[in-house]
A and B are shown apart, each in its own frame.
Chain A
Amino acid sequence: MDPTPDQLVEMYRRMVRIRSFEEAATKLLLGGEVPGGLHTSIGQEAEIVGACMALRTDDYMVGNHRSHGHPIGKGAEVGRLFAELLGKVTGVNAGKGGSMHLSDFSVGSLGETSIVGSGIPVAAGAALGSKMQGTDRVTLCFFGDGASNEGTFHEGLNLAAIWKLPAIYLCENNGYGELTAASEVVAVKDIAARAAGYDIPGITVDGQDVLAVFEAVTAAVQRARRGEGPSLVEAKTYRYDNHAIGIPIEHYRPQEEIDRWRERDPIKLFEPLLQDRGILDEQGLERIRHEVQAEIEAGLEFARSSAYPDPEDAFEHLFASPLGQPRPPARLADLPGPPG
Chain B
Amino acid sequence: MIKLKEKKFRIETDADAKKHPAFPKEDTIYNPLTREFIIKQKKISGKDWRLVHNGKKVIDLIEGKGITYTLEKCVEFKTRVEALKEIKILNLDTKEFEILNLDSKDLEGMVIS
> A and B: partners?
no
Residues of B within 8 A of A (CB): none
